């Protein structure tokens, strides 16, 4: 019987198991489930996209916004991952967007989704992010309130400002995801060489 005890690690991430989840030739799997209307999903996608850019390449990313009504935070700029493709030597990305920003159904969950959700997120809460089957987070690593009603250009500008509170919050979540991926791939990526990421990995 395993003596593993789940614990909170970086940000809101929990270390939930010591059993890696590998697919596609042994690559580390990053799995995301969200919905277009969801403001917390909208915020977290920025961190997912920017972190995984450090390990590979996105194609087909579409700029989008969260719902304009009936949510706590409105019109949060984001990306739709519904038709996005991701390629990397070390990381596989799999994601599902269950609805669009207008609350209309978008992508159906399949057997491979339920295999993950039944084990890690049976209530299907969103946003849900799982790194390598070991580290999971339900919710966003920073508040969507910080970027609601902003344009994508404004968000990018904040990300580039060293002293921006918005930028700092977003970069912290990007770095958390980066560190979790680095841990899961044995530090192989170039992004894993920075001292700030190494410091985070040491906490895992």
pLDDT digits (tens, 9 = 90+) for 165-193: 999 999 999 999 999 999 999 998 899 99
59-87 per-position pLDDT tens digit:
999 999 999 999 999 999 999 999 999 99
CB atoms inside a 10 Å sphere around CB 86: 22
Q: Are 106 and 64 in contact (CB under 8 A)?
A: no
- Could you tell me the end-to-end alpha-carbon distance of the chain, in angstroms, rounded to an integer? 22
Share of the chain above pLDDT 90, in %: 92
Q: Are 11 and 140 in contact (CB under 8 A)?
A: no
CA R_g for the chain? 16
Question: H/E element holding 58?
Answer: strand 56-59
Neighbour-count burial of 63, counting CB atoms closer than 10 A to its CB (0-12 exposed, 13-18 middle, 19+ buried): exposed
* Cβ neighbours for 74, distance < 8 A, ≥ 6 positions apart: 39, 66, 67, 68, 148, 149
**Is the pTM here over 0.85, yes or no?**
yes
Q: Over 80: is that where the pLDDT of 1 sits?
A: no
Question: H/E element holding 117?
Answer: helix 111-120
pLDDT band with cut points at 50, 70 and 90 for residue 24: low
Angle made by CA atoms 116, 134, 111, in degrees to the nearest 5: 10
pLDDT of residue 78: 98
**CA dist list (Å): 69 to 39, 81, 159, 174, 183:** 11, 21, 26, 28, 39
pLDDT of residue 6: 87
55 DSSP assignment? T
Q: Are 90 and 27 in contact (CB under 8 A)?
A: yes
């Amino acid at each position: 019987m395993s003596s593993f005890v789940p614990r909170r690690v970086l940000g809101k991430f929990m270390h939930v198991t010591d059993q890696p989840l590998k697919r596609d030739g042994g690559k580390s799997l990053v799995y995301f489930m969200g919905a277009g209307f969801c403001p917390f999903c909208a915020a977290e996608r920025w961190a997912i996209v920017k972190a995984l850019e450090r390990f590979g390449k996105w194609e087909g990313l579409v700029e989008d916004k969260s719902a304009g009504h009936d949510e706590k935070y409105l019109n949060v700029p984001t990306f739709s991952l519904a038709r996005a493709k991701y390629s990397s030597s070390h990381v596989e990305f799999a994601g599902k967007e269950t609805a669009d920003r207008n609350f209309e159904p978008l992508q159906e969950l399949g057997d491979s989704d339920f295999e993950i959700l039944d084990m890690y997120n049976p209530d299907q809460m969103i946003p849900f992010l799982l790194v390598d089957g070991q580290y999971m987070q339900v919710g966003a690593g920073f508040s969507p309130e910080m970027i609601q009603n902003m344009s994508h250009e404004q968000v990018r500008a904040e990300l580039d400002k060293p002293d921006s509170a918005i930028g700092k919050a977003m970069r912290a979540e990007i770095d958390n995801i980066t560190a979790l991926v680095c841990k899961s791939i044995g530090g192989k990526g170039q992004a894993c060489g920075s001292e700030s990421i190494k410091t985070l990995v040491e906490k895992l």
